[in-house]
Structure formats: C-alpha cells, structure tokens
Structure 1
Amino acid sequence: MRSRLPLLAIFPVTVLSVVLGTPFLLGDHPVRWEGGSALPKLVLDTSSDSSPSPASPKAAAPAPTTLRVTEPWKPGMPQWGVQIYWEEEPQKRSSDFIEKQAEKQAKYLVGLGANSVSISFPFFTKSPTSNTLTAEAKTPSPERLRTVLHVFQKAGFRTTVRPVMDERALIRTDDWRGNITPASNSAWFTSYGKFLAPYLAVAQAEKANTFVVATELNSMEGKPGWEKLVTAAEKTYKGEISYDANWDNYVSGRIDMPVSHLGVDAYFPVKVPDTASVRTLVDGWNTWLDRKSTGPLPKITVAEAGIGAMDGAYHAPGDFYARRAVNPEVQATWYTAVCQVVRERRMSGVYWWSIHFDDDPNTPPDDRHASRLDFAGRPLTERAIKTCFSSAYAGPGTPAN
C-alpha cells in the first residue's frame, strides 16, 4: 500500500538565500539560477570483441556485441543509471529501427556497468495557463514505449518510465514548467490523467519498476488533485510511483506529493574554479543538501545529474545552451564528486543526464552542435561513470564504511 512520502524538516543551519533569476535549461528544461551487496557483473563474448585500443578516442566507450547485466538490480542495491531522452523524429522511424536503437543503447549502458535506465519523453502544453496536456508528434506512442522497455528488461535493467513536460511553448513566454498556473486545476488534472493512462498500462504490462508521475512541477506540488490522480494510477500500475523535484524546491520547500518515492533533479551550483578538487565539489553539494537534512538520505534518488564539459560549468551545471570552451576534466571531476556524495549520503542511486535515444553513444559528440552536457563518447567521463558503477557501495540499506 502506498504511504505518503515522509517529509524532512529543514534543519536550522546557516541560511544561504536562493535568489531566482532568469531561467536556464536543465538538460532540456530551464530552472532559475543565481549568477544486496552485489554489483552488476558483465558477461562478454570475447570471440567477437572489437574494442578499440587504449589509444583510441573511443577507448572508454564499450563496443562488444554481446553484453548483458547478469545480476540485475534488487531492492537495497544502488540504482546506477542513465536517463535516455527520447523524442520521435518528424518522419516516424520504423518499429525495427526503434528496437535496434534500444538494443544499441542497452549494450552501451551495460558496458558502462549500469543496472538501471530511465526513459524520459516529452508531452506538451500550449501555455503556462493551459488546462490541456497532450501527446504530439515528438511523443513516443505507448506501443513504441512497450518495445523499448521490453529491450531493456530483456537486457536485465531496472526500468523507469518518466514523462516530462516539454517547455518550448513556455519558453516563448519566458517561463518554464515549474511556474505553470492552469486556469482550472480540476481540468488540468483530468487532462493529465487521460494522457498518463495508456503509459501506465504499458509500464504495468512490461513490469517497469518505477513510474515518475511528474517532474519539476514546483507550482503544482501539494495541489489536491494529485491524490485522485495517483489513486487512479495505482489501479493500473502496481510498481513504485515517484515524483522528481527540482533542486531548488527540494532544499527550500516542502515537497508535498502523495507518492512512495522522491527523486531530485540535482543541479546544485558550486561557485568554485575549474581546477577545484573532487573533495571541494563534494563539500559544495553537501552544503546544499544539509539545508534540507543532514546525514544519510537513503530514500532519495538523484534522478538527474549532469554538467557541461566546458569551462565555468560548476557555476551553472544545467546550462544547456552555453557553448564555452570544451573542458572534459570539468565534467569528469563533477561526475566523480556526485558519485561520492551518493555513497557518503547513502542515497539510493544516481541517473546521469543524458543520452538522446537517436544518438550513437559510441561516437564522440560533435561539439559544434551538441550540448556540452552530452557525456557519451567522452572517455574521461565514461571512465568516471564506470568507476562509480563498479564501486564497493552496496546500497542504502548497508552500513557505511
């Protein structure tokens, strides 16, 4: 039976005020910034091993053809995961393409040592005050989601389904999903429930572990319509229902949502130079987290973590638009620090943002056009992820070392 998520009071600590200014994107979305003991094991068919040499730019990217997680995630183990962001293309690809692309992503993730994957995909609204939420051309259909979930399940992954409100219509009004104010809350929840229903049915049919009922909807948190919506969802879907809070609301407000688990999209700015050590970045994260609660956070998952591989990124980790000088060390050091925070605070896991579903993860990103947040194909960051996912941390239910 679902129980309301226990909420931790904000402990009295030295207050660092958060001033919210112009919205920037976190991955594909803006927020407001101020200036069991076993880990996943891999089985490799070396008879067809085509891994590049250590000198190759792709050395850290896994390339074998038959990889599979042989010890899947179980309760108590850390969720070592990646967010796959999936938008349909204007000319719809074949079902065969979708299946083969999912297989390519699954092989890459297993090669990193991941045991979990979250499928994020967009749905749409027309304006900040709209009551209507819809699937549009870029929204994968429930049937195609079923195909992709089946591929990842077959590969042994823990799976999460995560619809995310697209913001292109909102950005035109200099706004973002965390500020929406529907003209009618009742109509908004009715519309949202209708959109979610077929995706909940697919998540149940494919035995997805978690369904994220909403992401970063700051202004909608605590609204009475969530109880009815979640209760209806539970009639179809029997897994874990979660909500992913934005980092600012997580540390400064009461996250009042009737769900069984809380994730955090964690883009805490740390105002330090590009040469900062892992320990300095860990301390910066802990300063933010301590504003909510000190000590272990075993019921919290880092639902999104990422940063641009560029100069100055520590000051605004989720700045999707910036194209400053490429600096792979900044990204790799941040990933190492975040993983250390997850272990030290006994958190339930981390999902790195992100890989676009249509991309070839074995190819280095084209930095003339790609987001600096892309990590696939960056050897230093891939090495940091593999080190993180193969660490001795057995999960939030085990004693700290």
Structure 2
Amino acid sequence: MTVLTIVLGAPFVLGDHPVRWESGSALPRIVRGDAEESATPADNATGTPSASSPSSSSSADGLQVAKPWKAGMPQWGVQLYWEEEKGKGKRSSTFIENQARKHAEYLIGLGANSVSVSFPFFTEGTTSDELSAGAKTPSPQRLQRVLKVFEDAGFRTTLRPIMDEKSLNPPDGWRGNIEPASRSAWFASYEEFLTPYLEVAEEVKANTFVIGTELNSLEGDPGWDALVASAEKTFSGEVAYDANWDNYVAGRINMPVSHLGVDAYFPVEVEDTAPVETLVDGWNDWLDKKATGPLPNITIAESGIGAMDGAYHAPGDFYTKRAVNPTVQANWYTAVCRVVQERQMQGVYWWSIWFDDDPNTKPDDKVASRLDFAGRPLTEKAIKSCFTSDYAGPGTDTAS
C-alpha cells in the first residue's frame, strides 16, 4: 500500500512543477542603438555596468525562422530556462549572445517559430512576503540581449519569470502552496521585482509576458487586479498566466489576464510499451474533465516527460533517474502534439533547454535531468515532425 501510494501520488507532489533547481498578435520589433545600451544599464544581476554594445542582427548571421509566427498560426516553441551561473569566467555579454544564437540555430533546425525564456526569482519561504532577484537571476539588460537575438531571427518571444523552489523544501513545499503572511506586501514586492522586466519586454516588443506561473494558492486573489493593470500600463503585449494542470482541470482559473497557458503534466497510468493512441486517450480523459471538444484559447505552456522507464505515471518528475528509455519520451511528445492539433489549441512549448547547455550535445545521463530532450534523436525527430506539420492553428481542421 505504501508503494502504491507513492506511485499514484507522485504526479501531484513531483509532476506538478518540473523546474530544475540546483543540487495576442505579432508585434513589430524595435532595434536599440548603442548609446541607449551603454549609457547606464547594469549588465548583470549584481549591477556591474555594461561595457559592450548590443548584438548585431541575427538575420545578418543567417539565423531566420523559416515561417515566422503570425496571429492565428500555432506556437511551436521551447522553454529556454536561464539561471546565471557565475564564477565560470565565461558569462560575458558576448557569451550569452553567442549562446542565444546557438539555441536559435538549434530551434530553427527543429522547425520552431516561438521561444519562451523562463528565469528564476526567489523568496525566503512559503510564508515570506518578499520576492527578489538572486545571484542566479539574469538582469533585465542581459535578458534584453538574449531576447533581441530571438526577435531578430523572427521568433515569437515570451518572457516568463518563475519562482525558484529551493527555499520551499520541495517536493512537499512548492510555488503552488505558498501562503504569504501579508498578501498585500507580497503583491507589492512582486510588482517591484517585475517592473524592470516588463520594461525590457516592452522595449524589445516581446509578444507575451507571463505574470505568474503555477501559483495555485494565490489564484483569484484581488491583488492580481492591480498587478495586472500596472503590468499592462508598462507592457503593450499579451499578459498571460500559466496554470498548473491540476488546478486547470479542477475548475475555473480566476485570473484577470488576456491569455491562459497550462503547464501540462497529466499522469497516464499505462505501461512503457503503450502506443501513442493510448497516450492521446489518456490526455483527452484529463482534458475532458475541464471541457470537451476544441480548446482554441489554450496554449500548452509547458509539457515534457523524462526519457526513462515508468515516466508516464509522473511526467514531470525531474528528481528520479530510472533507466533511460528514449522511446517513452518520443512517443509522449508525439501524443501531446496530436492532442494539441486535434483539440485545436494555440500550440505547445516543450520543457526545456538549459540556457548554458549545448543543445547539439547528447545529455550526460549520469547528471542530467531525464526531462532533457535536446540531443535525444528520437525526441528531436518527434518535435520536428510536430513543428513542421500542416496544422494551421486554432479554429482549423486537424492536420494529419
């Protein structure tokens, strides 16, 4: 019974929030001049002034999305997760721009047209009222440089701050069950943290800013009204919220935003040998708890699974390292893509690629998360098949 409880409960305590912690419409782009960049902005989270100018156009380097995203098209994307990793002597502005280009080239090869840059912010505990940048939080100016590389290459871009969970004692504590002692103080602190990032998102004309991710316990709080209103004064693009899959299927997500994404890690209790059709049925069983038929207003903001035995039971489990099984991961990706198309969703963003990683290198399975997909040929083939399909977007007939 104890083993059964752990297996069945794993999706709820492990699979809900797979962020690794340390052990609207297309908008026109604007190009910033050197004078703006070098005047005063800090170049990193510690406030060191920038000494170099912004990158040249990525399109001039031959980086260009084959079919740039336009309103109505599906968002075929990846979550790029960026923690500043200091002390390695290679984190210059030149390094991060070159790293962004490396990822842009890789994503273009997969057929992607969208990218979401997720990055951590920090709190002191589940009841803390204070939120802040930490040593691993990229500064607004450094994020601006990275976003510009993707913008110049023609990607649809999203900026997505996400609460780091290390201080919350996971897996029991996670961002979805925080209870700030003073919610008004929490929202005030959050607004102070977010505003510089919203300003940068506006400067580079990002398409979407995700105002919150998987904050189950705070959904519906009146504090969101003022926070979102403030964000919309600063940022003219789409302000979104990404709900966790359990809350999404349980009822209405009461958030005053213009778009809802879902971090979707639905557990499917089947064997590793289950065919893609069975996985599709498992996903539809979960989605039907919310609504049957097309879901044209929903984006799968995160989805993924470990390339390992037994992963279907807890797709978001990034703590466990069982025997590597690339077929499990590839079949899951194929099934999710089929669901996105059949339910006429807005698209999917796969979780994830670590910003400092080389996406062209096979993961070191002794240390890497099983959720890593870059460098796994079967999964890459499934992603490319998905991203280059004939699916035209929400409200259209399903492509084969």
CA deviation after TM superposition for structure 1 residue 93, in Å: 1.1
CA deviation after TM superposition for structure 1 residue 29, in Å: 6.2
Letter in 1 for 2:251: G
Q: Does 1:124 align with 2:122?
A: yes
User: For 1:254 and 1:19, how far apart are their aligned partners in 2?
Assistant: 24
**Correspondences of 1:151-300 after superposition (within 5 Å):** 151-171=149-169, 174-300=172-298
Assess, with a 3 A threshold, how the Cα gap between structure 1 residues 72 and 125 changes in structure 2: closer, same or farther.
Answer: same
User: For 1:290 and 1:235, how far apart are their aligned partners in 2?
Assistant: 36
CA deviation after TM superposition for structure 1 residue 22, in Å: 4.0
Q: Does 1:79 align with 2:75?
A: yes
> Residue 27 of structure 1 corresponds to which residue in structure 2?
18
> Residue 9 of structure 1 corresponds to which residue in structure 2?
none
Assess, with a 3 A threshold, how the Cα gap between structure 1 residues 215 and 21 changes in structure 2: closer, same or farther.
Answer: closer
Contact 1:25 1:321 in 2 (8 A): no
- Secondary structure of 2:77's aligned partner: strand
> Residue 351 of structure 2 corresponds to which residue in structure 1?
353
1:83-133 CA distance string (max 9 Å, x none): 000000132711110100000000000000000000000000001000000
User: For 2:382 and 2:331, how far apart are their aligned partners in 1?
Assistant: 8
> Residue 398 of structure 1 corresponds to which residue in structure 2?
396
User: For 1:118 and 1:177, how far apart are their aligned partners in 2?
Assistant: 19
> Residue 53 of structure 2 corresponds to which residue in structure 1?
none
User: For 1:210 and 1:314, how far apart are their aligned partners in 2?
Assistant: 30
| Structure with larger RCO (C-alpha < 8 A, sep 6+) | 1
Assess, with a 3 A threshold, how the Cα gap between structure 1 residues 264 and 29 changes in structure 2: closer, same or farther.
Answer: farther
User: For 2:349 and 2:14, how far apart are their aligned partners in 1?
Assistant: 23
1:17-75 CA distance string (max 9 Å, x none): 99986445632169xxxxxxxxxxxxxxxxxxxxxxxxxxxxxxxxxx84421431001
User: For 2:18 and 2:98, how far apart are their aligned partners in 1?
Assistant: 25
Assess, with a 3 A threshold, how the Cα gap between structure 1 residues 308 and 243 changes in structure 2: closer, same or farther.
Answer: same
Letter in 1 for 2:238: E
User: For 2:132 and 2:394, how far apart are their aligned partners in 1?
Assistant: 37
1:340-360 CA distance string (max 9 Å, x none): 000000000000000000000
1:225-244 CA distance string (max 9 Å, x none): 00000000111100000000
- Secondary structure of 2:202's aligned partner: helix
User: For 1:160 and 1:303, how far apart are their aligned partners in 2?
Assistant: 10
- Secondary structure of 1:26's aligned partner: coil
Letter in 2 for 1:283: D
Q: Does 1:68 align with 2:64?
A: yes
Assess, with a 3 A threshold, how the Cα gap between structure 1 residues 21 and 202 changes in structure 2: closer, same or farther.
Answer: closer
- Secondary structure of 1:233's aligned partner: helix
Contact 1:67 1:111 in 2 (8 A): no
User: For 1:379 and 1:74, how far apart are their aligned partners in 2?
Assistant: 29
> Residue 8 of structure 1 corresponds to which residue in structure 2?
none
CA deviation after TM superposition for structure 1 residue 400, in Å: 4.0
> Residue 379 of structure 2 corresponds to which residue in structure 1?
381
CA deviation after TM superposition for structure 1 residue 171, in Å: 1.4
Contact 2:17 2:214 in 1 (8 A): no
User: For 1:25 and 1:135, how far apart are their aligned partners in 2?
Assistant: 23
CA deviation after TM superposition for structure 1 residue 292, in Å: 0.2
Letter in 2 for 1:78: P
1:134-172 CA distance string (max 9 Å, x none): 001000000000000000001110000000000000016
Letter in 1 for 2:225: E
1:201-260 CA distance string (max 9 Å, x none): 000000100000000000000000000000001111000000000000000132000001
Contact 2:13 2:171 in 1 (8 A): no
CA deviation after TM superposition for structure 1 residue 398, in Å: 2.2
**Correspondences of 1:32-71 after superposition (within 5 Å):** 66-71=62-67
Contact 2:126 2:177 in 1 (8 A): yes
> Residue 365 of structure 2 corresponds to which residue in structure 1?
367
Identity %: 70
User: For 1:25 and 1:264, how far apart are their aligned partners in 2?
Assistant: 11
- Secondary structure of 2:339's aligned partner: helix
Residue segments in structure 1 that go unaligned for 5+ positions in a row: 1-16, 31-64
- Secondary structure of 2:123's aligned partner: coil
User: For 2:372 and 2:11, how far apart are their aligned partners in 1?
Assistant: 26
User: For 1:20 and 1:149, how far apart are their aligned partners in 2?
Assistant: 33
> Higher helix proportion, which one?
2
Assess, with a 3 A threshold, how the Cα gap between structure 1 residues 297 and 351 changes in structure 2: closer, same or farther.
Answer: same
> Residue 88 of structure 1 corresponds to which residue in structure 2?
84
Letter in 2 for 1:318: G
Contact 2:353 2:374 in 1 (8 A): yes
Assess, with a 3 A threshold, how the Cα gap between structure 1 residues 25 and 263 changes in structure 2: closer, same or farther.
Answer: closer
User: For 1:354 and 1:94, how far apart are their aligned partners in 2?
Assistant: 23
User: For 2:218 and 2:340, how far apart are their aligned partners in 1?
Assistant: 28
User: For 1:262 and 1:155, how far apart are their aligned partners in 2?
Assistant: 26
Moved over 6 A (4+): 17-20
Assess, with a 3 A threshold, how the Cα gap between structure 1 residues 308 and 345 changes in structure 2: closer, same or farther.
Answer: same
Contact 2:161 2:211 in 1 (8 A): yes
Q: How many residues align?
A: 351
User: For 2:11 and 2:367, how far apart are their aligned partners in 1?
Assistant: 28
- Secondary structure of 2:142's aligned partner: helix
User: For 1:23 and 1:383, how far apart are their aligned partners in 2?
Assistant: 27
- Secondary structure of 1:124's aligned partner: strand
Q: Structure 1-normalised TM-score?
A: 0.85
Contact 2:306 2:316 in 1 (8 A): yes
